[in-house]
Amino acid sequence: MSIVTLTTDLGYRDPYLAIVKAKLISQNSGLQIIDLSCDIKDNNISDAAFILKNALPYFPDNTIHLVAVKFIVDSNNLNRTNSIDNTRYLLTYYKNQFVICPDNGLFTLLDSTFNEPVYQIYYEDNTKHHFFLKDVFVNTAIHLLNSNLPAEIADKIKDIGILTSDYYKAVQFESFVSGNTLRGKGIYIDDFGNIITNITKRQFIDVVGKKSFNITLPGTRITKIHNTYDEVKHGQPLVLFNSFGNLEIAINGGNAQKMLCPRNIGSKFDFNLMNEFHD
């Protein structure tokens, strides 16, 4: 069974998402369409990248991921050699799956070492920009679905795109060690208000190991990694490694974002995490 996933900021109130699905199904009635996340806020491409990065390993080979989220920035902050162009649409084959998106930096947010071939998708009518998910991405997905699966990837794409290397390469803040401090930041807030950081379990074990440590949060310090939310009293903060393998800050029965940093991560406020360790 062929699968197409959707990651967009269209939401569910308007008819746009249903129109996209109707066009896909009208071309392939056996197609399975999965909403990966269709309520991305404020053109937050970092959220879109986090969601796709963590969901992608669970999908079978040749799944097609349509990521219709633009990266809106002040044009004065761009340089000529590495600029965002939301009117260019790109296609790649990453970890045996297709990813289609605007030229928004998504690929290097998925993987800082991303080095797969990238193709710029052909299209003729500039009016397609207005609803590019329906008029460009769906057409591209249908072409891939109708292609002969055993064929080389380049053969699938040659009629709809051209190889390119000048796409925008976004840079994600990486956690790092400074002296006896492991520093990270919040990169995603889920609907429960849990703050997911860019410190991974592997990095924490490699750097901290069995040393004593304290994690500094606004108004409190934590000296233990918990396994479940219920290991602390209701309303108390905790940190644990979530199912993605990232260090997560949570409140048992509460909202960590509202209680610890009641502002927006990634826009007006960056939640910085300091993890001090010692022998």
Domain spans, the chain: 3-164, 176-278
Give how far the C-alpha of residue 258 lies from the chain's centroid of Cα atoms, to the nearest Å. 22
Which CATH fold topology does 3-164 show? Rossmann fold (3.40.50)
Q: What are phi and psi of 53, to 5 degrees?
A: -55, -40
Q: Are 141 and 97 in contact (CB under 8 A)?
A: no
CATH 2.40.30.90 fits 176-278, yes or no: yes
pLDDT tens-digit readout, 182-227:
888 889 999 999 999 999 999 988 888 888 888 887 778 888 999 9
Residues 6+ apart with CB under 8 A from 100: 64, 65, 66, 67, 89, 90, 91, 121, 137, 140, 141
Instruction: Judge whether residue 168 has pLDDT over 80.
Output: yes
User: What confidence score (pLDDT) does residue 268 get?
Assistant: 43
Which string of b and e fits 19-57 if b means at least 16 CB within 10 Å? Answer: ebbebbeeeeeebebeebbbebeeebbbbbbbbbebbbe
Q: Is the pTM of this model over 0.75?
A: yes
pLDDT tens-digit readout, 227-252:
999 999 999 999 999 999 999 999 99
Residues 6+ apart with CB under 8 A from 76: none
Amino acid (1-letter code) at residue 216: T
Residues 6+ apart with CB under 8 A from 23: 134, 138
- Higher-pLDDT residue of 216 and 106 is 106
User: What confidence score (pLDDT) does residue 265 get?
Assistant: 47
